[in-house]
Chains A and B, each alone.
Chain A
Amino acid sequence: MRKQLLLLSGFVLCSIIALAQRTITGKITDDKGSPVANASVVIKGTNTGTSSKVDGSYSLTVPANAKALVFSSVNMNTVERPLGTSDVVDASLTINAVEIQEVVVTGYGTQRKKEVSGNIATVKGAKLANNPVQSFEQALAGRATGVQITVPNGVLNTPPVFRIRGTNSISLSSYPLIVVDGVPSPTGDFSSTSAAGNALASINPNDIESIDIAKDAAATAIYGSRAANGVVFITTKKGKPGKAKVSFNTTASWTSPYGIPEVLNAQQYTDYKNAAAANNQNVNSTNPAGSGYTKFALANDANGNPIDTKWADYVYRTGFSQDYNMNVSGGNDNTTYYFSAGFSDQQGILKKNDFIRKNILFNVDSRVNNFLTVGGKISYSNELNQAASSSGSLSGEAFGTAGFGRTVMVNAPNVSPYNNDGTYNISPNNVVGPMNNSLAQVGFYNPVVLLDNNRQNAETNHMQSFVYAQIKPVKWFAFKSIYAIDYLFVDNETFLTPLHGDGFASTGSASSTLGKYKRWTWTNTGQFDYTFASRHTVNALIGTEQDRRTSVGFGLNRQTLSDPAFTVLQAGWVTPNTSGLVYGENYLLSEFGRFNYDFDKKYYLTGNIRKDEYSAFASKASTFWGAGAGWEIAKENFWDKLGLNDIFNSFRIRGSYGKVGNTAGIGDYVIYSSYGSGLYGGNSTLAFNFAGNPNLQWETSTKIDVGVNFSMFKDKLQIEATRYYNDIKDLILNVPQSPSAGVPNAIPTNVGSMYNKGWEFGITGNPLRGKNFSWTSTLNITTNTNEVTALAPGLTEILSATSGLETVSRTAVGYSLGYLWLVKNGGVDPATGSRILLNKAGAPVLYRFAPNAALGQFQWSNPDGTQYKENGVAATVTQAKDGVMYGNTSPKVFGGWDNTFRYKNFDLNVLLTYQFGFYVYYGSNAGLHDQRFWNNAKDVLTAWKKPGDVTTVPRPVYLDNVSNGSGLPMSYNAFKGDFVKVKNVTLSYNLPTKFTSKGKISSARIFVSGQNLAIITDYPGPDPEVSSNGNGNTNQGIDRNTIANGRTILVGLNLSF
């Protein structure tokens, strides 16, 4: 490249050598006096120029007739200096008031931020770089109004719960559409193993220049049927004209678990469980209470010391992660390039949960001549997502007996993972061996065996590339054609040892499946930009797009290992079976257009329209649209006359309205009723297996957005306030038929409706702006109210289970999605120690496990001890009958507060995130109080013991799994989730130039940061920022056996050359 530059400058020199000339030198500095490297110096009215060196100096030969030099640099104001007699011309460039030049991506183009009528939030890539995350969205929490991010667990590379202005679907995806450099990207977890594999992790956060989040109809309608959940535009970095710039970034970090529930130690467990056993007259009929009954007993280790196992210590760790990123960018006036390579090796807080990414990115743009520009991108990423076994944290895993998060809470502390001879302590019935306890089972699996022997990996190879050509025959028109591919291949590989655990029943099991998700997108657009009569600016866009996706998956599952030494699929096994069969295809054909008009930069109008035809529907086409208007009042004369200009240098009112759609997650063949194949004793079968709906259509969202943006005191304070309303109709519900109808599936039907509405406030200010010290602060607040307004006729509720077992989430008309549905508690009866439940009428009902009929005890009784009856008949309290709508799980208020303090060369960034006004169902708490063999939380030591005891923990009765809420979900385990988190604190130091210049380094920055440093919350679990059901729409706010987020300390270094 350098050679080319030399040649080029040589050519330039040669071409002007004939003229009289002189050489001008000088130094370019910024307003602080620091040198500005790579600044451009051009002779006014020509293309002749040069760029400044690292020390800001330049040298340029100019013809005698040159009148002035123009100095410019990225993000700085352009300065023009007349050429006088002096041969030395210095220039001082000031940093732009950030948004003057700021452009936002609007879909198939960009627009100046000030001119956008739609609602688009922007987050700079720098905010996301150097974070201990796997994918950029994980670092997005609290950074933008309207955006809610919940990192659901501490398993590496889990897709966060990503919501823009609430949850906007029930059965389809509520994940926003992600558009990377103009091309839609797959989202979600593509791994089918217990190692999560977020597709967006293929984008190295260090390569992101900016993220623009489009929220309202005016901003999103250009994406028509995919816009209902909002559109997130990712722009990767590009090169800038000038000398090649090399950056090197590295971080090292340590992540450790926090908030792991404290459980009983061996002695406490043994005593407590024996007391519970003594309280159960059924198991204790032969050994009455108090006679030295020992169902549970301590055991000694090989050294004769009592065994006291802290299971968590065998499963959790402090994970060490390292990240390296190098990029080279640069170019000349015609061609720019950006090349980056990254390597990230991250360890989770769970042993053997690792994430390794290797990625490269190459962006190039070249202006071939005055009307043709070509360019493209090559991006390749390889991610290895590794886990030994289930963490119990991913969606669907909560109740797996393999889940590490669960076993460490459940397994008895008085048994060891190892026998005294060093072998694994496992029992023939595939649980951890009971040692001296006189029970067959005192735990689930022995996690150490699974950690040592099992594998659950998913390796992703992801290519995201495109090529484009743009023809601009005249100034006011450009034609652009982009062809892009997105190929995501995921190779899932598992091995389950026959020794123990999930592989035990099948005498070992190994699977390998390959999923191939291929997409091509071809977009053609024509863009008109025209200004007439100097004050009327029109730009218009028309385009067509084809989006084709195919998915093919296949694989093998082999069971019954032929030799214990084998651990791979290719070895000797008895049973071969297919696994991971996937076949799908879809096609989206679109025509779209946009029209922007402004008059005098004062009145703005925008309109978007898109017609989408989608293969999954029978009636293919639908048209979506959005329109917006803006008024910059500060440009009006009266504003000036009123003297408001001194206060408000900008004051914009804007509004938008439109209709967009949602198809994300819809099956490729949902319109067809079909018969599928199977086997009956080796013979093929054909059975009705899917009831389709030929009338199925898009979900539609009607979005209204009204707001003001204003800047005060010369942009020192910028405030935006927005009222939004999204009315969603034709929600696709998989309408369940009564089981006796025998229909194989719930039939997808456009029936439901709901709305999301709320306010967004964003306040950015520079309370302090001095030469040495400055403070920039951004506070964003979003409120959201969600309400389901209609379900299917005859369908009064949608019950959503956690991992198919525990149902506490109920979606019903008049409530927000996934409301907690629980039986209310009335504490613990001081007289009997029984759990008090409240029936539908609010009357207290006492529950006693294993009642002694001979003593006149009842399982369900009134507070006076008489049998509980309804309508004169002995009755029980059930969730179906007595459950109440207890609390909402979607936060009513959320956002973040981002502060940057700068003192000389020091930067301190503090990001707080918060969510308020919601409940979390702490299901793990039920497990932590289960009176089967399960170990319990420390607070059981305060359990009821004798009449008169006032406590929150009922009298323990061995085998009781109702009083704790396992068998009957109750409000005892629901808690307010309100929290404020110290999400990120980064302290960085920019090395002074006098040091760096010695090493020919243009800048060097060292930093230390911490993530999740503190949570302020009343929530008793590890972390209220949690989701046991992943991105599920109707079962958020559940914390069931989940591995919580980790706390990270990170150090890093950025170098630029």
Chain B
Amino acid sequence: MKKQIKYIVSFCLGLVMVTSCKRELLSPIPQTSITDATAFDTPARIANQVNSLYAAFKTGNFYGGRAQVAGDIRAEDFLNETTNLVTGADVWQLNATGTSQNFVKNLWAAAYSTINLCNLFIDGMAAKGTSVVGATLSNNYLGEASLVRAASYLKLLEHYARPFADGNGSKPGVPLRLTGIKASGSSDLARSTVAEVYTQIIKDLDFAEANLPLTYSTPALNTTRAHKNTAIALKTRVYMAMQDYTKVITEGNKLAPQATAPFSATTGVAHALQANIATVFASPYTTTESILSMPMTSTAGDNPGTQNQLGYYFVQNGSSLGSAEFSLNPSGILGNASWTATDARKTALVFTNATNSKKFVAKYKTGSPYTDYAPVIRYSEVLLNLAEALARTNAGVNAKALALLNAVRQRSDAATILAPADQAALINAILLERRIELLGEGLRNFDLMRLLQTIPAKGTITAKAPTEQGYIWPISADELSLNKLMTDN
């Protein structure tokens, strides 16, 4: 009996100690993501990463919606219909603070998150990716990464740094980050000057122009992925910001070499104005006029998300049109006599709410989940950039500048032929045309900033001179708190 007990006890003890455990469960492998070490292992993963750079660029807090919204609502052409801070009431009132989450903090974070992805991609291609996909494709991809990075820095400069015109770029710009960050320890970085950041932007866009493909296989890809002409087009905008009009002309002429209308790009993607501007903003959104647009689908995560959508801000925040966050200011461009009632941009792209007679930009009319593409740059902007550069650098009324201006005007308003009397009138006409043509595409604030103009009064909000606090945004409070080398505006 004693022996038996001993056996039983040892058996039980043995059971306790060697209970069959499953040690392999201690090292689970993530099933829904790819580990860091293998992200550049296959051509498909690399191709997907290229898409992710654009996907970051098009998040709702950036070029999926809020970047354009911020560019419009700071200026005078819109009135705030709600007093909602989440949808930019403070941005509109020109009193957004550094702790303001919805635009000041989020746009800063979204831009840098895009930049870091570009940097990680560029680093990863050098380390491994190029050998996986080959030099040619690698350079195409690197061109895309450079372009996305450049466009992101450009938007950052517009809101968080003094315009280039203020001291020729000598004022504090933004931290210039060019290497990918995956771990702690890189929080601190001082601001480069505005000029230094612009230099990098130009460098990136030059690289992109040199390495991007001329075209892609489909109109959709030509609209949503960067190609050579995308880089050129963006350069016209960058040089406008730097007031380097000679360079604008050089780049602009690459895309509109003709002396008179019709204008079109003769190499690469054949960018040209569409006969009817409404088609540019209608499905499939992939005309040659749209040089770069952010594509949207109804799949969750592939559209801007709640309270970020252009349509939500400008025309409808529900099923009925005319219920948006921002209406058109009757004393803004809407009330300008030069914008005729028969202009297609007014008849087709402005919506009137029958109940309260308020008017709204109707470029983005597709309701929830808001799948209208978000424009980044259009051919008509390039034409107007070129026109303005020509107008500013040539005395009198420059013929090509006027031709470019009228090409844009007459496409939508055939009855009107603009005929400014002198250089100043020509420049003003071009600036006015930009407000009409690019309304709701986020360019108005850019135009005010680059020219160091006062932000005009609107509704209950007083004007903001370039010397006043709040002319540009403050720096994100999070950045100031976590980046010891950062300084506020």
Residues of chain A having any CB pair with chain B under 8 Å: 282-283, 428-430, 440-441, 471, 473-474, 477, 479, 481, 498, 504-507, 522, 524-526, 542-544, 546, 548, 557, 559-560, 574-575, 577-579, 581, 583, 585-587, 589, 613-615, 620, 668-669, 672-692, 735-744, 747, 749, 794-797, 799, 804-805, 807, 874, 878-880, 932-933, 959
* B30 and A672 form a contact (CB under 8 A): yes
Question: Which B residues are in CB contact (< 8 Å) with A669?
Answer: 28, 30, 33
Tell me whether B27 is interfacial, beta carbon within 8 Å.
yes
Say which residue of A686, A735, A742, A933 sits within 8 Å of B34 (CB atoms).
A686
Known: A880-B98, A880-B99. A686 touches B48 (CB 8 A): yes
* B22 and A587 form a contact (CB under 8 A): yes
In Å, the complex CA distance between A576 and B268 comes to 38
Within 8 A of A (CB), among B104-130: 105, 108-109, 112-117, 119-120
28 example contacts (A-B, Cβ-Cβ < 8 A) are as follows A428-B318, A429-B317, A429-B324, A473-B4, A506-B369, A546-B22, A574-B298, A583-B32, A587-B26, A615-B25, A668-B28, A669-B28, A674-B33, A674-B35, A679-B55, A680-B54, A680-B295, A680-B302, A681-B54, A684-B51, A686-B51, A688-B182, A692-B36, A739-B479, A741-B187, A742-B116, A742-B181, A744-B113
Which of B10-18, B337-345, B426-434 interfaces with chain A? B10-18
In Å, the complex CA distance between A683 and B52 comes to 9
* A441 and B82 form a contact (CB under 8 A): yes
Question: Which A residues are in CB contact (< 8 Å) with B188?
Answer: 738
* A737 and B181 form a contact (CB under 8 A): yes
Q: A505-B317, A620-B26, A687-B49 are in contact. List 10 more A-B contacts (CB 8 A).
A: A473-B5, A560-B369, A587-B22, A674-B33, A684-B48, A688-B36, A689-B33, A691-B183, A739-B479, A739-B482
In Å, the complex CA distance between A505 and B319 comes to 6
* A740 and B33 form a contact (CB under 8 A): no
Question: Which B residues are in CB contact (< 8 Å) with A692?
Answer: 36
Known: A678-B301, A681-B224, A681-B297. A524 touches B16 (CB 8 A): yes
In Å, the complex CA distance between A429 and B353 comes to 11
Question: Which A residues are in CB contact (< 8 Å) with B367?
Answer: 507, 560
Question: Which A residues are in CB contact (< 8 Å) with B48?
Answer: 677, 683-686
Residues of chain B having any CB pair with chain A under 8 Å: 4-5, 8-9, 12-13, 15-17, 19, 21-23, 25-28, 30-36, 39, 45, 48-49, 51-56, 58, 81-83, 86, 97-99, 101, 105, 108-109, 112-117, 119-120, 174-175, 177, 181-184, 186-189, 220, 224, 294-302, 306, 312, 317-320, 322-324, 353, 355-356, 367-369, 460, 469, 476-484, 486
Known: A737-B184, A737-B186, A880-B477. A674 touches B322 (CB 8 A): no
Known: A674-B36, A739-B482. A526 touches B55 (CB 8 A): no
Closest to A428 in B: B323
How many Å from the CB of A599 to the closest CB on chain B? Answer: 26
In Å, the complex CA distance between A706 and B53 comes to 58
Question: Which A residues are in CB contact (< 8 Å) with B8?
Answer: 471, 473
In Å, the complex CA distance between A685 and B51 comes to 5
Question: Which A residues are in CB contact (< 8 Å) with B55?
Answer: 678-680, 685, 687
In Å, the complex CA distance between A492 and B31 comes to 24
In Å, the complex CA distance between A620 and B28 comes to 12
Say which residue of A544, A679, A747 sits within 8 Å of B21 (CB atoms).
A544
Say which residue of B25, B98, B101, B300 sits within 8 Å of A805 (CB atoms).
B101
Say which residue of B52, B101, B184 sits within 8 Å of A749 (CB atoms).
B184
How many Å from the CB of B487 to the closest CB on chain A? Answer: 13
* A560 and B368 form a contact (CB under 8 A): yes
Question: Which A residues are in CB contact (< 8 Å) with B13?
Answer: 479, 526, 542
Question: Which B residues are in CB contact (< 8 Å) with A933?
Answer: 83
Question: Which A residues are in CB contact (< 8 Å) with B81?
Answer: 429, 440
Question: Which A residues are in CB contact (< 8 Å) with B224?
Answer: 680-681
Question: Which B residues are in CB contact (< 8 Å) with A477?
Answer: 9, 12
Closest to A545 in B: B19
How many Å from the CB of B197 to the closest CB on chain A? Answer: 12
Question: Which A residues are in CB contact (< 8 Å) with B33?
Answer: 669, 672, 674-677, 689-690
Say which residue of B5, B39, B97, B177 sits within 8 Å of A688 (CB atoms).
B39
Question: Which B residues are in CB contact (< 8 Å) with A474?
Answer: 5, 9
Most chain A CB within 10 A, of B30, B294, B300, is at B30
Question: Which B residues are in CB contact (< 8 Å) with A613?
Answer: 26
* A682 and B177 form a contact (CB under 8 A): no
How many Å from the CB of A634 to the closest CB on chain B? Answer: 37
Question: Which A residues are in CB contact (< 8 Å) with B99?
Answer: 807, 878-880
How many Å from the CB of A477 to the closest CB on chain B? Answer: 6
* B486 and A738 form a contact (CB under 8 A): yes
How many Å from the CB of B174 to the closest CB on chain A? Answer: 7
In Å, the complex CA distance between A615 and B21 comes to 13
Most chain B CB within 10 A, of A543, A676, A685, A747, is at A685
* B368 and A506 form a contact (CB under 8 A): yes
* B299 and A679 form a contact (CB under 8 A): yes
* B175 and A740 form a contact (CB under 8 A): yes
Known: A680-B54, A691-B182. A672 touches B35 (CB 8 A): yes
* A544 and B16 form a contact (CB under 8 A): yes
Closest to B83 in A: A932
Say which residue of A441, A678, A795 sits within 8 Å of B52 (CB atoms).
A678
* A874 and B469 form a contact (CB under 8 A): yes
Say which residue of B34, B112, B356 sits within 8 Å of A739 (CB atoms).
B112
Say which residue of B101, B186, B319 sits within 8 Å of A804 (CB atoms).
B101
Question: Which A residues are in CB contact (< 8 Å) with B83?
Answer: 441, 932-933, 959
Question: Which B residues are in CB contact (< 8 Å) with A668?
Answer: 28
Question: Which B residues are in CB contact (< 8 Å) with A557?
Answer: 300
Question: Which B residues are in CB contact (< 8 Å) with A542?
Answer: 13, 16-17
In Å, the complex CA distance between A155 and B56 comes to 38
Say which residue of A525, A679, A807 sits within 8 Å of B301 (CB atoms).
A679
Question: Which A residues are in CB contact (< 8 Å) with B21?
Answer: 544, 546, 589
How many Å from the CB of B236 to the closest CB on chain A? Answer: 25
Question: Which A residues are in CB contact (< 8 Å) with B322?
Answer: 428
Say which residue of A615, A680, A743 sits within 8 Å of B28 (CB atoms).
A615
In Å, the complex CA distance between A175 and B482 comes to 30
Closest to B370 in A: A505
Question: Which A residues are in CB contact (< 8 Å) with B318?
Answer: 428-430, 498, 504-505, 507
In Å, the complex CA distance between A587 and B82 comes to 50
* A687 and B22 form a contact (CB under 8 A): no
